[in-house]
Amino acid sequence: MRRTYALVASSFSLLAFLILIPSAHAGGRSGLYADFSSRGPAAVLGSGAFARLTLAAPEQAQGQTPAQPAQRVIPFEYSEAYRTRAKIHRIASFATLPLFAVEGILGQSLYDNPTSAKRGAHSGVAAAIGVLFGVNTVTGVWNLIEARHDPNGRGRRWVHGLLMLGADAGFVATAATAPDDHEGGGGSSSKSTHRAIAFTSIGLATTGYLIMLFGGR
């Protein structure tokens, strides 16, 4: 009689197991899955494997994390001229930070101890920065106009462009407030204003440069 009861109980358990497992796979995001392991009661009872039914997502049942939805990229075709301008813009940009560093050091030295040689070097580096920003402003604005219909990275491009245009205006103001005398003297207020505008412009341009350097294209 006990064997009969055991056989009936085993049959019901097997039937329940066979019903629950397919429903777990058909459940989509969540369901019951069978975890076969030698842990838990199996270690005590000494049987080969112990089936544990657990409510979980299919990804968790396989030991995987749910996949994140991929961002949709909308195709956009650029002209060959755009690619040429972008290449010029990118190559010229490599000189941005080195020129800023040299100009900052020369400007501070000229502010503390003005000499004719320092003023000449400072003016030369400033002219190089002017040429660099002239080239990059033309190529950058031109490409910004062509890319205006591309939704991919639009916000980053506009932030970069506005920061660089703000830096352009700042560098014009920097040149306009430069001390007039040959030795780089002038009033303390004039030199302080010149230096403040220069470093603010450098800060804007550096921020815009780094946004594109580390933010994609």
Q: Which one, of 124, 133, 212, lies nearest residue 170 by Cα?
A: 133
Q: Where are the beta strands (DSSP E) in the chain?
A: 31-37, 50-56
Torsions phi, psi of 179, nearest 5? -60, 145
pLDDT score for 170: 96
Tens-place pLDDT, residues 5-58: 444 455 545 545 444 444 444 444 444 444 444 444 444 434 344 344 444 444
Name, in order, each residue with C-beta under 8 angstroms of 38's C-beta and a sequence gap of 6 or more: 48, 49, 50
Global pTM value: 0.62
**C-beta separation of 132 from 96 below 8 A:** yes
